[in-house]
Structure 1
Amino acid sequence: MNKTIFHNGRIFTSNPDQPYASAMVVSEGQIDWIGNEGDLAELEGVRVDLQDRRVIPGIIDAHLHPLYLANAAKQVVCMAPVVYSIDDMVQAIRKQSESIGSGEWIEGWGYDEGKLTDGRAPFRSDLDKAAPDNPVVVTRTCGHIISVNSRALEIAGITKDTINPPGGQIDRDANGEPTGILRESARHLVLNAMPVRSIEENASLLAELSPFLFERGITAITDLMALSKPIDYLDMYNEARDHGLKQRTVLYYMWEDLKKDMILDEHKTNRENPIHIGGIKLFADGSVSGRTAWVNPPFLGDDENCGISTTSREELLEAAEVAENYGVQLVVHAMGEQAIDLIVDTFYGKKGWLEDAPSIRIEHAAMPTEQAIQRAVEMGVAFVPQPIFLFAEIESYLNNLGAERTKTTYPVKKMLDAGIKVAFSSDAPATAWADPVDPFVSIKAAVTRVSYDGTDTGKDQRVDVETAIELYTRAAHEITRIPAIGQLKQGYQADFIVLDKDILEVSPEQIDEVRVKATYMGGEKVFEK
């Protein structure tokens, strides 16, 4: 049996029983032995010198949107350093319209009105100036709100008389006419009218994303918006695997889809499969930055606005029953206090159905109340926050919540001290940052609790570097349930990354300058700088 001996490394294992090592022996993709090089027996095999570099387990992104991330790379960029104003956005879209045919759809990605000099989202009238003959859809950085032009509204059949769909809002002017801004479920009125890419096109996009993720040390991913129609995501990801997608992948299917088409079965949910279904996803509210999170108290400067509630107790219970029947997780997006309370209170006193992991995950969990945290601990509910949000979207948080309330959001240290299972993730591309999936930006944000512009985002909620790495590795494995990854220990997969700087020794402010020198999956090098 061929063995590879990795030696002369500074290995941080994420294994609390053996946090540090300097050598490991790998065969058939798994770690046979790990420890101090001085204790390593004489072995025959290929020797790889780690050159005294820091090694950590491969990153597991527990909440990601890979297809959106791959698509965003091909859309009109609507954020800094390309776009600073609505006029910049109009110019960028006009340029795109001049290079394509009349009638073709134009998509843009990533505006955040908190960062635009205009201080507002683009209206249909703005986008009409850019491309009157092309339907235009520009997605806000949070992914929960879109701005569209008149042509797109016309194609979708949205008029003054169109009523708000459940859990959604069509913004209107003083005369009741749609402004072009569609929030939460209302955005699907337009998105569902857009042409659908073929499964082959999407599979190729995902395969192209694989090396991009390896370059950032990401060896396992999730898709938190998997669909069964018009393309089944499980089929699409399996085809992407044939095209070259290598990351281990867990899919979480939208409850809206599963209600109509129950595709779950034992084979599709088998966690030994490199691509499998891990849960059922619902939304309980929207985003803090888009003022659609279901909050209490209301958003700053608008006592009428507590956001949007997008699910119900009955729907949660119905989805949970199906999740239990198929042995998968119930995964619910909730940012505001009221949204988190709804989930926790709905299931309080009920027993979880999974033996080896949290049965219920709350995604984002931006603003949990003291009672919600206590109850979540008792129930074994997991929280999956994104440190990059406060770091990258500070303007919107300050505008919508104020400085003091902002500091209390995503209280990671409080969650951990209480005993909640927590995993870090990026939610990429749903944040206003040029490289939103970069884990080192998120780790820096969690360790410093300072935003990109130097604003204090709640320093009492800082965690140390080792903890931040563990939340992206071992803890993310415990919550995503992908077998035998997230730690470097005997019997586990040899998924690890070699860093160009020692993340445990650089100053916290420089963590985002750390780069991956090499990425290994199953002991095989899949990326080298």
Structure 2
Amino acid sequence: MKIFRNAKIYTANSECQSATAMVIADGKIKWLGLEGDMPSYEGEIVDLQGKVIIPGIIDAHMHPIMLADVLEQVACLPPQILSIEEMIVALQNYDARQRGWILGWGYDEGKLAEKRAPLKEDLDRASTELPVIVMRTCGHIISVNSKALEIAGITKDTSDPQGGQIDRDQNGEPTGVLRENARNLVLQHLPSPSEDEIVARLVKLSHILASYGVTSITEMMATVSPLDYLSLYRKARSKGLKQRVAVNYVWDDIQKHDLLVEENIDRQAGAYIGGIKLFSDGSVSGRTALVSEPFLNSTETGIAMTTKEELLAASIEARKHGIQLVVHAMGDKAIDLIVDTFYEEEAWLTDAPSVRIEHAAMPSESALKKAAEWGIGFVPQPIFLFCEIESYLQNLGLEKTQTLYGVQTFLQQGIATALSSDAPATSWAEASNPFVTIQAAVTRTAYDGTDLGAAERISVEEALQLYTADAKTMIRMEKVGLLKEGYEANFVVLAEDLREISQDQIMNVKPLATYIEGECVFKQ
């Protein structure tokens, strides 16, 4: 038993919003309240000397296996990489002996001196003998060299796959830029790491996430082949991954495999299937979001990636097994499709949104109203605006950009909402750091000082709630997200109160310690 005293505790629990002492036993909170009211307990006493405790952070939308992977690739991000020229040098120095491919991630053409994506001719300078793949920050676009195109058999005569696009030059030749489902033409040839390698990466990632105060996570794009994601997370849990994981499988694999058995959807488990994932469109920064008005200075209106019929078919399976339907949608047309599809249907869950819209960048007025009425949840990422501001301004302009990811509007409309990172699919080296997202949501100011729309600011208290108790509801994870008797002892110790420090310094906050189920899993 441990007794934490002399603390300033933010509980995220409306029944007991603040406390000064907490008793932990068997990984759970045994007692919580004012120190003067604490019964007599025997155990190790931890005097926090006025430090702050907040609930463990829950990331409702991220890609941990991808994140663990890219952390071992070339980070094509500022401050290290500011141009395609610097990118080429870094790729040339990448040790490709283990994989046989040269891999990079995180480029954003808005941050590159050349103001464009790297093309095959650029990446050929890194290597003509080895295939090269560089993933754009959004994760929806890749740039590859000529060798990678050759391996994939992509030529002038290759047709665009459904839901994807092969960029071509004026002569019809592939440029090396592959969008949405066209990525898979190359990615399917990438050698797969072994199960043990992925598990080892996840265990390493667990410590990094704990250093940011993240105690529960989600996997938003799970697949079965070449290795089953749920099995990977379960093995990683047995080897040292501390965070519990809600896993969401892509619809294609749900149809092909018998995944939704009782033991896999048990929400008491350390890793469980939480939902079925579909894509309605692409990304704003990559100009593949499905929008009603073309992106600036273009006729582009995005890529449609699903249909009403597919959404309804997936929802039947989700309803049958009592899990969520989780749909990626950024553009207003993509969001309208989802909301209008389900507005005449009945929800099937009572404890959380049956349908979640991931990102929800630019919902229409109609979509906001219908989503609130029906109970559709929104999971936005204000960090996108914070660190990808150049692309957003170029694609949409300032006025439109200032309305995106409108968390204050979502809350005012009564829409169930949770904050998240989408790490690593954004152009920030510490993409999984929740304090960056909290600052972005609270200040609505980009890293370069651009005003992101003061009308959509939320309070620090609201941001914490959306990253803890409300995120717990969004992902339907049991006994986490708030500090309450009987709940798991998942919490973070901070030197200062987030509500009292300068808001433009929130991103610099570093936890002093992080506890998961009463165990200190990180300490400065």
TMscore range, shorter length: over 0.9
Aligned counterpart, 2:376: 381
Q: Is the 8 A contact 1:24 1:34 kept in 2?
A: yes
Q: Is the 8 A contact 1:170 1:181 kept in 2?
A: yes
Closer, same or farther in 2 for the Cα pair 1:155/1:492, shift >3 Å?
same
Give the Å deviation of 1:103.
9.3
Give yes or no for the alignment of 1:220 onto 2:216.
Answer: yes
Match 1:477 to one of 463, 472, 477:
472
Q: Classify the secondary structure of the residue corresponding to 2:272.
A: strand
Give yes or no for the alignment of 1:182 onto 2:197.
Answer: no
Equivalent-residue separation in structure 2 for 1:59 and 1:294 (angstroms): 31
- The percent identity for this pair of structures is 55
Give the Å deviation of 1:111.
0.4
Q: Classify the secondary structure of the residue corresponding to 1:181.
A: strand
Match 1:203 to one of 199, 202, 205:
199
1:422-461 CA-to-partner distances (Å, cap 9, x unmatched) read 0000000110011011111111111100000000001110
1:337-486 maps to which residues of 2 (within 5 A)? 337-486=332-481
Give the Å deviation of 1:350.
1.1
1:12-31 maps to which residues of 2 (within 5 A)? 12-31=10-29
Equivalent-residue separation in structure 2 for 1:15 and 1:211 (angstroms): 27
Give the Å deviation of 1:249.
0.6
1:146 corresponds to which letter in structure 2?
I
Q: Classify the secondary structure of the residue corresponding to 2:125.
A: helix
1:53-452 maps to which residues of 2 (within 5 A)? 53-96=51-94, 99-100=95-96, 104-302=100-298, 304-452=299-447
Q: Classify the secondary structure of the residue corresponding to 1:372.
A: helix
Give the Å deviation of 1:101.
5.3
Of 369-378 and 31-40, deviating more is: 31-40
Q: Classify the secondary structure of the residue corresponding to 1:210.
A: helix
Equivalent-residue separation in structure 2 for 1:429 and 1:485 (angstroms): 24
Equivalent-residue separation in structure 2 for 1:17 and 1:462 (angstroms): 26
Aligned counterpart, 1:510: 505
Q: Is the 8 A contact 1:135 1:151 kept in 2?
A: yes
Equivalent-residue separation in structure 2 for 1:455 and 1:103 (angstroms): 40
Give the Å deviation of 1:349.
2.0
Aligned counterpart, 1:9: 7
Q: Classify the secondary structure of the residue corresponding to 1:126.
A: helix
1:250-299 CA-to-partner distances (Å, cap 9, x unmatched) read 10001122222232111100001111000000000000000000012111
Of 498-507 and 206-215, deviating more is: 498-507
Q: Classify the secondary structure of the residue corresponding to 1:130.
A: coil
Give the Å deviation of 1:198.
1.2
Equivalent-residue separation in structure 2 for 1:263 and 1:464 (angstroms): 40
Equivalent-residue separation in structure 2 for 1:132 and 1:380 (angstroms): 52
Q: How many residues align?
A: 524
Q: Is the 8 A contact 1:147 1:182 kept in 2?
A: yes
Give the Å deviation of 1:230.
1.2
Closer, same or farther in 2 for the Cα pair 1:102/1:514, shift >3 Å?
closer
Give the Å deviation of 1:45.
2.0
2:113 corresponds to which letter in structure 1?
T
Match 2:492 to one of 492, 497, 511:
497
Gapped regions of structure 2 (runs ≥ 5): none
Gapped regions of structure 1 (runs ≥ 5): none
Of 424-433 and 38-47, deviating more is: 38-47
Give the Å deviation of 1:26.
1.8
1:320-341 CA-to-partner distances (Å, cap 9, x unmatched) read 1111111110000000000000
Q: Is the 8 A contact 2:60 2:379 kept in 1?
A: yes
Equivalent-residue separation in structure 1 for 2:256 and 2:300 (angstroms): 32
1:321 corresponds to which letter in structure 2?
I
Q: Is the 8 A contact 1:228 1:258 kept in 2?
A: no
Equivalent-residue separation in structure 2 for 1:23 and 1:50 (angstroms): 9
Q: Is the 8 A contact 2:369 2:413 kept in 1?
A: yes
Equivalent-residue separation in structure 2 for 1:179 and 1:246 (angstroms): 43
1:365-415 CA-to-partner distances (Å, cap 9, x unmatched) read 000011101100111000000111100000000000000000010110010
1:270 corresponds to which letter in structure 2?
D
Closer, same or farther in 2 for the Cα pair 1:487/1:161, shift >3 Å?
same
Give the Å deviation of 1:100.
4.2
Give the Å deviation of 1:503.
1.1
TM-score (norm 1): 0.98
Give the Å deviation of 1:500.
2.1
Q: Is the 8 A contact 1:103 1:135 kept in 2?
A: no
Equivalent-residue separation in structure 1 for 2:181 and 2:141 (angstroms): 9
Equivalent-residue separation in structure 2 for 1:452 and 1:243 (angstroms): 37
TM-score (norm 2): 0.99
Give the Å deviation of 1:356.
1.1
Equivalent-residue separation in structure 1 for 2:50 and 2:34 (angstroms): 13
Q: Is the 8 A contact 2:423 2:431 kept in 1?
A: yes
Q: Classify the secondary structure of the residue corresponding to 2:111.
A: coil
Q: Is the 8 A contact 2:99 2:191 kept in 1?
A: no
Q: Classify the secondary structure of the residue corresponding to 1:277.
A: strand
Q: Classify the secondary structure of the residue corresponding to 2:455.
A: helix
Give the Å deviation of 1:305.
0.7
1:199 corresponds to which letter in structure 2?
E
Q: Is the 8 A contact 2:237 2:270 kept in 1?
A: no
Match 1:45 to one of 43, 46, 62:
43
